[in-house]
Structure 1
Amino acid sequence: MSTIVEKLQSGPEWLRSWDPENEETWDRRLAWQTLWITTFSLTMCFVAWFLPSAIIPKLNAIGYSFTQQQLYWLAAVPGLSGGLMRLVWMVLPPIMGTRKMVAATTLLLFFPVLGWGVRSMSPTAPYWELLVLALLAGIGGGAFSGFMPSTSYFFPRKMQGTALGLQAGIGNFGVSLVQLLTPWLIGLGFLWWLGESQMMKVPGKPDREVWYQAASFVWLPFILIGTWIAWQYLKSVPVKANIAQQFDIFRNQDTWWMTILYIMTFGTFSGLSAQFGLLMINLYGSGNAGIVQGSGATAQILVAGYAVPDPAAYVFLGPLVGAGARVLFSPLTDRMGGAIWTLISAVGLAGSIAWTIPALTPDLTSAATLQAGFNHFLWGMLLIFLFSGIGNASTFKQMPMIFERRQAGGVIGWTAAIAAFGPFLFGVGLTIMAPATFYWIGVAWAVMCVAITWWRYARPGAPKKS
């Protein structure tokens, strides 16, 4: 492995020396240039990773005929593959370096994004083919465990909360971006040149002509631009470690405690981001057989006066709130420490998840109770996203404080890899059990994290005050 490392580090992109803790020699401009370039690429990674979650809820409306369980599994697969790929990407920064890793990863996004565009243009793809595309979308999820450790090498510890919070938070905006723009892009008639249109048929609403492939194709130029910029302008920090050396993080108990905490924060954020639209449809929309009768233009709402919500109008709000919280609270973690905010996140998640549970069983007795239940559900979900975003910022401040530089990068990559299984675990959980049962498990997990954070990191005299 050492021979491979030496060979990859022989190019001109490798910096001869780099010590961000030395103010006199630290190149601030290069550090921030690296942050913004990799953040742009990371945003495209999240777009590619969550593109299926924006497309899947309406697949049946444009001509497919999948079951509810098939759609849940389809939305869950990018989380599974993203988590598995993060286990690979977490060891790449010291081996490939920032430049090669970011440029190659960004280019790889081109293929699943192109595939989703082609296969949503004509609703004839077999289920297994869409599963393969969902699997490849996980490349965008895997990138996080390489990009974040790599960026941490460029900044001093006192600034890593802000730097990593900005990168991860802005990158997370890619989730909201794809979910917000998808319903708008598919309706733009001037995009006819992108291919054949489809007729979208939603119960209770008039048929609508759409260009569903536009939701994918529009990102392809940005992916190519990100690839070129990364290759042209990025440098690599000479942090050397082969795969075996990087595995020393698993002998440190804090690796495992921080993994549990990051599952609570990013696992919740990514899991709900992927399943929010389907959950909304199945509880309060056309997926609820107790609400809609008939199909197409003849559909009737059984509860008079209740308007079935369009998930596209709301689904982007959750990731937007979570990503915004990660960006806004990151500077506060640099000032106050990460542990106190992780504690606030855990308490907030336990409370907000518990508060949302009653809204997971819609009351069909009247339009007023249905509307009240939906409002309760929406606000509860936004609170969950808020507290998960706060925790995403604070845990990434804690890790560089708890571990030395190379290990901190490895732990960031590892915890991110495990938490990336969130979309898969949420998809499986919502498939095999009632939403309320699954949410109670979330409450129990958050309460456990309150205890871990207080005892290990936040209390006076804590072993690893961070």
Structure 2
Amino acid sequence: MKARGGRWIEYWDPENETFWKETGRRTARRNLFFSVLSEHIGFSVWTLWSVLVLFMGPEYGLSPADKFLLTSVVTLVGAVVRVPYTFAVAVFGGRNWTVVSASMLLVPTLAAFVVMEPGTSFSTFLLVGLLAGIGGGNFASSMTNINAFFPLREKGWALGLNAGGGNVGVPVIQLVALAIIGASGGPRVLLGIYIPLILVAAVLAARFMDNLTTVKNDTGAAKDAARDAHTWIMSVLYVGTFGSFIGYSFAFGQVLTTQFGRTPLQAAYLTFIGPLLGSLVRPLGGRLADRYGGSRITLWNFVAMAAATAVLVVASMERSLALFVTVFVALFVLSGLGNGSTFKMIPHIFHSKALARGLTGEEAVLHGRRLSGAAMGLIGAVGGLGGVGINLAFRQSFLSSGSGTGAFVAFLACYAVCIAVTWSVYLRRPAGRSGTGAGPAAEETRRSYAEV
């Protein structure tokens, strides 16, 4: 199966059931495991500053607004770098880029280790926060790589497991921080733990992962994906799911300390629960989408997210900590389910479009895989920007009123938009079957989106 040096696989056909059972599944799952490990640590480094700000007491001279701005900058960079990270897989190979991207995580971690002390200027913290943003890019390259390894029928599960395992990096670093704060340790202890873990992830990726020669550098795919309306429609939905997850992961601890007066240790006891559950259920979202259709699961998930946010508005106004934490955790779980179901939709949407163009069999599969792989990077980048919006909304809400209530009202409106978009584009049936000017193929494509 390997004909070139450097762990390159020449022939890869996961849709061939014989190939998949004999050699493909074992190889794909091995690459999935080590991809998850690297992405997991990438997420930890990306969300590092959501934890570090809890260590930064009055002696650091930062206001709550400063801290929200800092985490917004980190989130922004993590979203933007997802675009080049997506196409790096095709340029360098999935295994090779995983080694490079994992090794690069040493830069922001070592930089934070150096500057993390009272007296450091806010501008320096912002600069080092910018470096931490590269951890967010690992998700995009990992998803693009794993998308190429698995057959269409298993993408929901595989992509959900890959993303969920990466997302677990958020609660894990929060749990480690909780232990360190509880033991009266400092932020440098936390950073010192992650430096050797980064090296281990890079070495294991080099030893056990593979490159696929079938994943070619195709700038045309990026252009075609960018011109397709569904790329941007799915970006909106991913803002609602992943944007919520990453934005709330950065902001939850700060809301608890700022609005509810919790100490850093008290906040740390609570902040990891939501991201942990939201990460663990992401594969379930993909599995449910495999069975019932991603658009259906996504629609009802946004309805539940809107309902939970409405309760959060009440809890925030009443300053009820128990209700606030309970519903916020539920919102994390729903965002995780939605992450899995929305990403399941992407390859199936482009496969459905290939069938509508008259393509069949392997030709349709390759066309759909080509565009969906390119679209994932763009969708992942825009989704990450949702996390920026959440942190900026909280910053403005606290500046204006001293609470997060205004931000939750804005989030409720966003979920209402996502509900309307999901229903109108992927589930609504045409008003009439005749006289619309749409042929049978176009009508069948519209109906098939309910199954994506």
TM range (shorter): 0.7 to 0.9
The answer for the alignment partner of 1:376 in structure 2 is 323
SS at match of 1:421: helix
Deviation at 1:463, TM superposition (A): 5.9
Give the Cα separation in 2 of the matches to 1:463 and 1:163: 22
For the 8 Å contact 1:46–1:141, the answer to whether it is kept is yes
Alpha-carbon distance in 2 for matches of 1:114, 1:185: 18
Given that 1:283 and 1:362 are in contact with CA atoms closer than 8 Å, whether structure 2 keeps it comes out as no
Contact 1:456 1:463 in 2 (8 A): no
Q: Which amino acid aligns with 1:51?
A: L
Name the aligned partner's letter for residue 409 of structure 2.
W
The alignment status of 1:335 with 2:291, answered yes or no, reads yes
Question: Which of 429, 447, 450 lines up with 1:462 in the alignment?
Answer: 447
Contact 1:342-1:394 at 8 Å conserved across structures: yes
Distance 1:91 1:447 in 2: 33
Equivalent-residue separation in structure 2 for 1:268 and 1:222 (angstroms): 27
Summarize the alignment of residues 382-461 of structure 1 with structure 2, pairs less than 5 Å apart: 382-403=329-350, 404-433=368-397, 434=401, 435-459=404-428
SS of residue matched to 1:240? coil
Look up the match of 2:9.
Answer: 15
Shift of 1:318: 1.4
Given that 1:42 and 1:171 are in contact with CA atoms closer than 8 Å, whether structure 2 keeps it comes out as yes
Q: How far apart, in 1, do the equivalents of 2:313 and 2:135 lie?
A: 31
Matches within 5 A, 1:185-334: 185-188=180-183, 209-237=184-212, 238-285=214-261, 310-334=266-290
1:142 is aligned to 137
Q: Retained in 2: the 8 A contact 1:275–1:423?
A: no
- % of aligned pairs identical? 31
* Cα distance in 2 for residues equivalent to 1:402 and 1:236: 26
| Whole-angstrom distance in 2 between the partners of 1:387 and 1:109 | 29
Q: TM-score, normalised by structure 1?
A: 0.83
| Residue in structure 2 matched with residue 179 of structure 1 by the alignment | 174
Contact 1:354 1:443 in 2 (8 A): yes
Q: CA deviation at 1:423?
A: 3.1
Question: Quick one: structure 1 residues 112 and 23, their matched pair in 2 at CA, closer, same or farther if it must change by over 3 Å?
Answer: same
State the shift of 1:244 in Å. 4.3
For the 8 Å contact 1:43–1:172, the answer to whether it is kept is yes
SS of aligned partner of 1:239: coil
Q: Which amino acid aligns with 1:351?
A: A
- Does structure 2 retain, via aligned residues, the 8 Å contact 1:339–1:457? yes
Question: Any conservation in 2 of the 1:41–1:226 contact (CA below 8 Å)?
Answer: yes
Q: Distance in 2 between matches of 1:313 and 1:248?
A: 46
Instruction: Indicate the residue corresponding to 1:87 in structure 2.
Output: 83
**Which one of 308, 311, 316 corresponds to residue 355 of structure 1?**
311
- 2: CA distance between counterparts of 1:331 and 1:29? 20
* C-alpha distance in 1 between matches for 2:221 and 2:282: 31
Match of 1:292 in 2: none
The answer on 1:53 being equivalent to 2:22 is no
Shift of residue 437 of structure 1? 2.2
Instruction: Report the Cα distance in structure 1 between the residues aligned to 2:13 and 2:25, rounded to whole angstroms.
Output: 11
2 CA distance for matches of 1:309 and 1:97?
42
1:10, distance to aligned residue in structure 2 (A): 7.3
The answer as to whether partners of 1:285 and 1:310 remain within 8 angstroms in 2 is no
How far apart are the structure 2 equivalents of 1:424 and 1:448?
18
Query: How far off its partner does 1:186 sit?
Result: 4.3
How far apart are the structure 2 equivalents of 1:247 and 1:145? 17
Structure 1 residues not aligned, in runs of 5+: 1-8, 189-208, 288-307, 364-372
The SS at the match of 1:18 is coil
Separation in structure 1 between the aligned mates of residue 389 and residue 86 of structure 2, nearest angstrom: 21
Shift of residue 246, structure 1, vs aligned partner: 1.9
Contact 1:349 1:387 in 2 (8 A): yes
The more displaced of 156-165 and 418-427 is 418-427
TM-score by length of 2: 0.86
Q: Mapping of 1:85-164 within 5 angstroms?
A: 85-120=81-116, 122-164=117-159
Is the 1:165–1:326 contact (alpha carbons within 8 Å) kept by the matching residues of 2? yes
What displacement does 1:111 show? 1.6
Offset at residue 149 of structure 1 (A)? 1.0
Match of 2:73 among 77, 87, 99: 77
Q: Please say if residues 139 and 166 of structure 2, whose CA atoms lie closer than 8 Å, have aligned partners that are also in contact.
A: no
The 1:158/1:444 distance shift into structure 2, 3 A limit, reads same
Structure 1 pair 316–425 and aligned structure 2 pair: CA distance change class (3 A): same
Displacement of 1:427 in angstroms is 1.8
SS of residue paired to 2:215: coil
Query: Once the two structures are superposed, what CA deviation does each residue of 1:268-291 show, in whole Å capped at 9, x if it has no partner?
Result: 00000001000111110159xxxx
2:407 is paired with a residue of what secondary structure?
helix
Q: Distance in 1 between matches of 2:79 and 2:99?
A: 20
| Alpha-carbon displacement from aligned partner over 1:357-402 (angstroms, at most 9, x marks no partner) | 0222355xxxxxxxxx001111121121111111101011111111
Runs of 4+ in 1 over 6 A off after TM superposition: none
User: 2: distance between equivalents of 1:309 and 1:126?
Assistant: 25
Q: Which amino acid aligns with 1:396?
A: F
- Greater shift after overlay, 445-454 or 222-231? 445-454
8 Å Cα contact 1:284-1:309 kept in structure 2: no
1: CA distance between counterparts of 2:203 and 2:46? 20
Instruction: Give the alignment's Cα RMSD to 1 decimal.
Output: 1.9
Distance in 1 (alpha carbons) for counterparts of 2:208 and 2:265: 45
Change (3 A) 1:463 1:252: farther
2:133 partner amino acid: G
Structure 2 letter corresponding to 1:249: A
State how many pairs are aligned.
Answer: 407
- Quote the Cα distance in structure 1 between the aligned partners of 2:381 and 2:61: 33
